């Protein structure tokens, strides 16, 4: 038995007036999703427990059957693991975005956050900036590490204080005053962010980006701290040899911590211009190599939601259907073995909100040996109308396996 999960990050949305009060899922041409959902178990699921923040680490842990109330230690340590960083018990990992802040204000506190991704800066450019920060602000106990695009990591031994940070993508277009680290506990982190602006704003990389009409990555934004996580082995838990395929360090880190194989795909970017076909080829290769369970994570719809790129969000859904789900399904159909397919988002990232929400998300589970009555088209609305709601995302995988 083979199992395929396609996780379209942030795919769920709200009805949009410009689409005739339809959602991107309703507008997108996705014939394979719609075909499979006609004969699938369809419903909605809450992957983020009440009281927790709707982040991708929490939701993807739940989809993979790990209770985030037990295992969620913040996304940063998971990303650190995927970057090959080792963490000791006295070290804390902190997500370190490079972001775009406005430049006209006299004080740092009065600036506006314009872009949480600095125009989706390339990893190569960001790497130069992170090295500059390490040279200027790194210490024996504090080091900056390059991740992918705008997503980077700060490892801090014996951090000065515990602090609960605001998420940058929640406050796009807003003045940052009330969202910055505050008080005595937040002071060391605020000082670091302010110093980063002094180092980065006129760095040659950012001056060149301005000349090309791109936003500068002129500050860091710290958030989501956590200690090293410990996840039970996925293979021991389910008896399945598993692999994860993602461009995002967070998802790679979850897989690595669960003793799954993380498969890298050249050209996988974490945005709409990713290597969709490469991810499909990697999944097919994993099944050929004897893996039983393959988890394909695609970040593109989420990034489009954060950036309010409606056309790109629709297109990303179409490309997931055409270039990932269809070829992998066709390959599995040609094999003399039973298989199952599950497709879902982890959380919604509505265009109008530009951040994650707690709303339940649609899912379908199609099984070759057990077709059931599903829906004519896979959307938020049709899934909700089935009135098959799972309140605990940790239980979802047990309906597939």
Per-residue pLDDT of the chain (401 residues; tens, 9 = 90+): 999 999 999 999 999 999 999 999 999 999 999 999 999 999 999 999 999 989 899 999 999 999 999 998 777 888 888 888 988 989 999 999 999 999 999 999 999 999 999 999 999 999 999 999 999 999 999 999 999 899 999 999 999 988 989 999 999 999 999 999 999 999 999 999 999 999 999 999 999 999 999 999 999 999 989 888 789 999 999 999 999 999 988 899 999 999 999 999 999 988 899 999 999 999 999 999 999 999 999 999 999 999 999 999 999 999 999 999 999 999 999 999 999 999 999 999 999 999 999 999 999 999 999 999 999 999 999 999 999 999 999 999 999 99
Structure tokens at 177: 């005053």
Domain span(s) for CATH 3.40.720.10 in the chain: 2-73+230-400
Q: With helix as H, strand as E and coil as C, how does 113-133 read?
A: EEECCCCCCCHHHHHHHHHHH
Contact 7, 47 (CB under 8 A): no
- Dihedral over alpha carbons 312, 365, 328, 378 (to 10 degrees): -30
- Does 3.40.309.10 match the CATH number of domain 2-73+230-400? no
Q: Which helix (H) or strand (E) holds 400?
A: helix 396-400
Contact 67, 47 (CB under 8 A): no
How is 165-198 classified by DSSP, letter by letter? PPPGGGSTTSBSGGGS--HHHHHHHHHHHHHHHH
């Amino acid at each position: 038995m083979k199992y395929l999960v396609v996780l379209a990050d942030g795919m769920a949305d709200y009805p949009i007036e410009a689409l005739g009060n339809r959602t991107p899922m309703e507008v997108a041409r996705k014939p394979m999703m719609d075909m499979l959902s006609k004969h699938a178990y369809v419903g909605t699921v809450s992957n983020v427990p009440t009281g927790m923040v709707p982040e991708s680490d929490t939701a993807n842990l739940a989809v993979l059957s790990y209770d985030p109330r037990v295992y969620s230690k913040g996304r940063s340590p998971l990303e650190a693991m995927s970057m090959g960083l080792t963490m000791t018990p006295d070290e804390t990992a902190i997500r370190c975005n490079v972001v775009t802040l406005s430049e006209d204000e006299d004080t740092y506190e009065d600036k506006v956050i314009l872009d949480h991704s600095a125009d989706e800066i390339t990893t190569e450019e960001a790497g130069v900036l992170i090295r500059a920060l390490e040279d200027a602000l790194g210490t024996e106990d504090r080091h900056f590490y390059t991740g992918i695009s705008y997503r980077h990591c700060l490892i801090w031994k014996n951090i000065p204080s515990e602090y609960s940070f605001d998420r940058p993508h929640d406050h796009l277009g807003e003045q940052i005053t009330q969202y910055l680290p505050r008080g005595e506990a937040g002071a060391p982190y605020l000082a670091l962010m302010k110093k980063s602006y002094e180092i980065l704003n006129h760095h040659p990389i950012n001056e060149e980006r301005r000349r090309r009409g791109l936003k500068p990555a002129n500050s860091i934004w710290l958030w989501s701290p956590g200690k090293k996580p410990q996840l039970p082995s996925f293979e021991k838990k389910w008896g399945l040899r598993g692999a994860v395929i993602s461009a995002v360090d967070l998802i790679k880190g979850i897989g690595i911590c669960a003793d799954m194989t993380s498969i890298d795909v050249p050209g996988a970017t974490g945005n709409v211009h990713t290597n969709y076909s490469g991810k499909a080829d990697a999944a097919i290769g994993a099944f050929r190599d004897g893996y039983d369970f393959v988890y394909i994570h695609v970040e593109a719809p989420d990034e489009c939601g954060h950036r309010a790129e409606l056309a790109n969000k629709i297109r990303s859904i179409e490309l997931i259907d055409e270039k990932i789900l269809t070829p992998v399904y066709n390959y599995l159909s040609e094999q003399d073995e039973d298989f199952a397919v599950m497709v879902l988002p982890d959380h919604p990232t509505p265009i109008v909100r530009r951040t994650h929400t707690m709303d339940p998300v649609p899912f379908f589970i199609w099984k070759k040996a057990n077709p059931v009555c599903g829906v004519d088209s896979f959307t938020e609305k049709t899934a909700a109308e089935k009135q098959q709601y799972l309140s605990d995302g940790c239980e979802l995988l047990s309906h597939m396996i």
